[in-house]
Amino acid sequence: MREQGAVPAVWGILLILVIAGCQCHLTGEERRYQYEIKDFQVPLDHFSFLINATFNIRYLYNDSFVDKSNARTPIFFYTGNEGDIELFAQNTGFLWEQAQLQRALVIFAEHRYYGKSLPFGSSTFNSSMPEHLAYFTVEQTLEDYAMLITFLKNDRQMPVVAFGGSYGGMLSAWFRMKYPHLVHGALAASAPILQFPGITDCDIFYRIATSVFQNAYNGNCTVNIARSWKLFESLGGNDAGKKQISEAFNLCTPLKTDGDLKQFLDYVEEVYSNLAMVNYPYNSSFLAPLPAYPVRQVCFYLKDLHTTDVDLLHAMASALAVYTNYTGSAKCLDTSVSSSADASGWDIQTCNQMVMPFCSNGTETMFRPSTWNFKEFAEKCYKNYRLTPKPYDIILRYGGRNIESVTNIIFSNGLLDPWSGGGVLQAPNDKVFVIILPEGAHHLDLRHSDPADPPSVRDARQKEAAIIAQWIKEF
Ligand SMILES: *[C@@H]1O[C@H](CO)[C@@H](O)[C@H](O)[C@H]1NC(C)=O
Ligand SMILES: *[C@@H]1O[C@H](CO)[C@@H](O)[C@H](O)[C@H]1NC(C)=O
Ligand SMILES: *[C@@H]1O[C@H](CO)[C@@H](O)[C@H](O)[C@H]1NC(C)=O
Ligand SMILES: *[C@@H]1O[C@H](CO)[C@@H](O)[C@H](O)[C@H]1NC(C)=O
Ligand SMILES: *[C@@H]1O[C@H](CO)[C@@H](O)[C@H](O)[C@H]1NC(C)=O
Ligand SMILES: *[C@@H]1O[C@H](CO)[C@@H](O)[C@H](O)[C@H]1NC(C)=O
Ligand SMILES: *[C@@H]1O[C@H](CO)[C@@H](O)[C@H](O)[C@H]1NC(C)=O
């Protein structure tokens, strides 16, 4: 999931998915888990009795752990989020480890409009057919998942536990809220279900991201980053300076216009947000191939207070390369935007229901100052997709902070995750569990266990496992 809003709608969302997109071609080493890939037919529009068109969503299936003599086999169901489902299957080791323990059937369902689950094939995102986007909602997606579970259960009594991280965690939580007869519990990891207008401060994301950088190496890191924006803007004001930036960062396409400069700055800002999210304690390749604690590595290059422009520029380039060139295989730095299907998906969702305000008070964060302007945002959505966002739709449907009546959901949040600002940090009742990971990045607890995991993550997984086991026992 991408934070956006400080950034223009089009560029805002794309980075994670562009970068994640490259990861979809998983290399052998990243393929920890195996499964069969299956298709499931779903109605294009679950809520219409006029349209009976259908299409296929993909899901991943593994029944190797299942005890065939157990009539009440648990189903562990990952509610797929914004990307190719195989990426999430490979990065959700906790589900696999628990499935082995509980002898569960493993299912990862792909979200409609992502990966290969495209309702209109290659014309799904064709901008001359905006009507193709009409069925791209949370509700249609949950209905897909409800039908798939019903099909898998095939009239048998089986406890279902939903798992999800980030937007996938929001879906898990909402799935349990709306379909309690199908889903007996949900683990919603790093799920910012409160990151919506009027119920959470718009600057919380950038504040937390800044604090991650502040505490990573030494205090000079955020000072350098905060200063760099002025430097980029003053250098970028003339052709010689644009050339200097292009060379220092080894840009594939040298900066020519002010639009190019803006795209470059948006890219850099996104990289910082992504780094804070995936600041995992071991090397990983979720959003990009990265060393352990990548923010620390970035801040290592920014540990001295740079007084000359040239020094600061080169330090910034080295720092950014931790994210863009860890493998050393990037020939040049490409900050342009791909128009691939995955890349547009999340941007489109922010333009219908997932309206998440972001802003930054330039004096208190290392990011550029920005304000949240819904009117401007909505105009861009209309221009790009003919969509009119509904900022209060999610709160209307799922309750915002009013979730007292909800049960059997675990909300886990790492306090070092910028998304935790929009997470549920206080349990509304004793059937909802809030698990805090003081040292956790974005859904670290959902990942496989690793010797480098901090103690708080091990504890969190243990608690989660015990609650899930209890749900299954109670069933
Ligand atoms: C399911 O996972 C198990 C354990 O990782 C693996 O041995 C098995 O081959 C997988 N099944 C399929 C069909 O890929
Ligand atoms: C839709 O329903 C009509 C009437 O039952 C039927 O003739 C048609 O084949 C259906 N189309 C699809 C795609 O199922
Ligand atoms: C989009 O649809 C239009 C109208 O059907 C078609 O002419 C065009 O080739 C399509 N564009 C792409 C990129 O497929
Ligand atoms: C992580 O580090 C190990 C050991 O240094 C290395 O073998 C592995 O390829 C690295 N993985 C990634 C994703 O960089
Ligand atoms: C910041 O960098 C300067 C050198 O440029 C160094 O003397 C100082 O100790 C650094 N600050 C911190 C908090 O380490
Ligand atoms: C990436 O690293 C390699 C090896 O250090 C270097 O040759 C290359 O120029 C770097 N690419 C970029 C974009 O800086
Ligand atoms: C940032 O916050 C400070 C102190 O709260 C305030 O004085 C300033 O006006 C704010 N700046 C912006 C750009 O909102």
User: Minimal CA–CA distance to 244: which of 261, 226, 267?
Assistant: 261
For the CA of 64, the closest atom of ligand 1 is 1
The backbone torsions φ and ψ at residue 267, rounded to the nearest 5 degrees and listed phi first, read -60, -50
* Burial (Cβ within 10 Å: 0-12, 13-18, ≥19) of residue 451: exposed
For the CA of 363, the closest atom of ligand 7 is 1
The residue behind tokens 């990265």 is: 290
Q: Which of the residues 360, 442, 443, 453 is marked catalytic?
A: 442
For the CA of 96, the closest atom of ligand 1 is 5
Structure tokens at 351: 């333009």
Q: Report DSSP state, residue 384.
A: H
Its domain, for residue 128, covers 28-198+396-474
- Is pLDDT at 109 greater than 50 in this prediction? yes
Does residue 415 lie within any of the structural domains? yes
What is the C-alpha to C-alpha distance for residues 291 and 202, in angstroms, rounded to an integer?
30
Q: Is 333 in the pocket of ligand 6 (CB under 6 A)?
A: yes
Residues 58-87 have a mean pLDDT of 96
Does residue 380 lie within any of the structural domains? no
What is the C-alpha to C-alpha distance for residues 457 and 446, in angstroms, rounded to an integer?
10
What is the C-alpha to C-alpha distance for residues 297 and 275, in angstroms, rounded to an integer?
10
Dihedral class, residue 113 (left if φ above 0, else alpha if ψ from -120 to 50, else beta): left
The partner residues of 242 in beta bridges, in order of sequence, read none
Does residue 332 lie within any of the structural domains? no
What is the H or E stretch that residue 172 is in?
helix 167-178
Question: Bigger pLDDT: 46 or 23?
Answer: 46
User: Minimal CA–CA distance to 317: which of 235, 257, 258, 238?
Assistant: 235
Q: Is 251 in the pocket of ligand 6 (CB under 6 A)?
A: no
HSE on the CB side for 98, CA within 13 Å?
29
Radius of gyration for the chain, computed over Cα atoms and rounded to the nearest angstrom: 22
Write out pLDDT tens, residues 384-399. 999 999 999 999 999 9
Active site residue 417: yes
Residues 436-452 have a mean pLDDT of 91
Structure tokens at 79: 């509610």
Q: Is 289 in the pocket of ligand 4 (CB under 6 A)?
A: yes
Write out pLDDT tens, residues 127-169. 999 999 999 999 999 999 999 999 999 999 999 999 999 999 9
- Is pLDDT at 22 greater than 90 in this prediction? no
Q: Report DSSP state, residue 62.
A: E
- pTM exceeds 0.85, yes or no: yes
Structure tokens at 38: 């299956």
> CA dist 1 to 145, 274, 287, 356, 413, Å?
20, 9, 11, 11, 15
Mutate to test the pocket of ligand 1, among 31, 32, 35, 95 (most ligand atoms within 8 A of CB): 35
Write out pLDDT tens, residues 175-198. 999 999 999 999 999 999 999 999
- Is pLDDT at 15 greater than 90 in this prediction? no
Q: Is 362 in the pocket of ligand 7 (CB under 6 A)?
A: yes
CATH of the domain at 41: 3.40.50.1820
- Is pLDDT at 10 greater than 80 in this prediction? no
Q: Which of the residues 84, 132, 144, 166 is marked catalytic?
A: 166
Expressed in angstroms and rounded, the spacing between residue 327 Cα and the centre of ligand 7 is 40
Looking at the structure of the chain, the number of domains it has is: 1
Does residue 235 lie within any of the structural domains? no
Does residue 19 lie within any of the structural domains? no
Q: What is the reported pLDDT for 30? A: 63
Does residue 278 lie within any of the structural domains? no
- Is pLDDT at 26 greater than 70 in this prediction? no
Asked whether 267 and 334 are in contact (CB, 8 A), the reply is no
Q: Is 361 in the pocket of ligand 7 (CB under 6 A)?
A: yes
Q: What is the reported pLDDT for 195? A: 97
- Is pLDDT at 339 greater than 50 in this prediction? no
DSSP tally for the chain: helices H, then strands E: 15, 8
Residues 362-369 have a mean pLDDT of 90
Structure tokens at 441: 């990045």
> CA dist 70 to 151, 153, 156, 158, Å?
18, 13, 11, 10
Tell me the three state secondary structure of residue 161: strand
Does residue 357 lie within any of the structural domains? no
Work out the angle at residue 197's Cα, subtended by the Cα atoms of residues 192 and 198, and round it to the nearest 5 degrees: 110
Q: Whose CA is nearest to atom 14 of ligand 5?
A: 218
Does residue 63 lie within any of the structural domains? yes
Quote the longest CA-to-CA distance of the chain.
73
Write out pLDDT tens, residues 394-425. 999 999 999 999 999 999 999 989 999 999 99
